[in-house]
Amino acid sequence: MAAAQTSRGNPGVTVTSHREEVVMRTTGWKKPSWKNGALVAAALFAVGGNALAEEHPAMSDAHMIASAMHAAPARVAKGATIVAMGADGTMRTLRKGTNGFTCMPDNPSTPGPDPMCMDQNAMEWITAYMAKKTPPTGKLGMMYMLAGGTDASNTDPYAQKPDSSNHWIKTGPHLMIVGADPAFYANYPKSADPDTAAPYVMWADTPYEHLMAPIK
């Protein structure tokens, strides 16, 4: 998962996650006014400003559906609800699903491919993360990012950019397990600078620790 992201074409421009909007519109969560301006993880759906919208023309619905389906295994993606952000900021359902998963397409404004697919428990976990609240217990959740993700701090859940102390890392295609008991995460490496080619715990020993499991 990643924090605030920078435009591929504009390295100095920070863009807001459009996954943040999904949670806002589907759960009623209100965006907090965080002092440091921290945004949602790369797990969460990015949306750029007007300049970015001009640089990256809107994809067709068919293109967005295809992109979103790259986030998860074919069987999961086939039955998932697919959502996307409209030009006016309104969240649209491109396709209703039946299996409890929600997928969203890549945002071309972010540094790397980041389509994402999550189950309902993972959505609740993300809502808690965004509100800086403790995630619900006893609700194991799964997120898929099989097309890859955006760089992030491995130690600071709300870091927006790399510095000398926040252990910025990059993980390719992966899935995430959230909401597990601490005993589960104790079975995996919690190094600040992990081998991202093997499973490891991100944001270890915080309320938002979760397992990152590389696929390739």
The pLDDT tens digits of the residues spanning 67-123 come to 999 999 999 999 999 998 766 767 789 999 999 999 989 877 766 788 999 999 998
Tell me the average pLDDT across 4-12: 38
Low-confidence winner among 63-67, 85-89, 176-180, 182-186 (lowest mean pLDDT)? 85-89
What are φ and ψ of residue 100, in 5° steps? Answer: 85, -5
The closest alpha carbon to 46, from 68, 27, 22, belongs to 22
47, 80, 86 from 201: Cα distances, Å: 27, 27, 34
Sign of CA pseudo-dihedral 7, 159, 178, 209? positive
Q: Is the pLDDT of residue 162 over 90?
A: no
Compute the distance between CA of residue 103 and CA of residue 209 in angstroms, rounded to an integer.
22
> Which run of H or E residues covers position 126?
helix 120-130
pTM flag (> 0.75): no
pLDDT at 20 over 90: no
Question: What interhelical angle do 18-27 and 120-130 show, nearest 10?
Answer: 110
Sign of CA dihedral 181, 187, 193, 199: negative
Taking the C-alpha atoms of residue 204 and residue 182, their distance in angstroms, rounded to an integer, is: 10
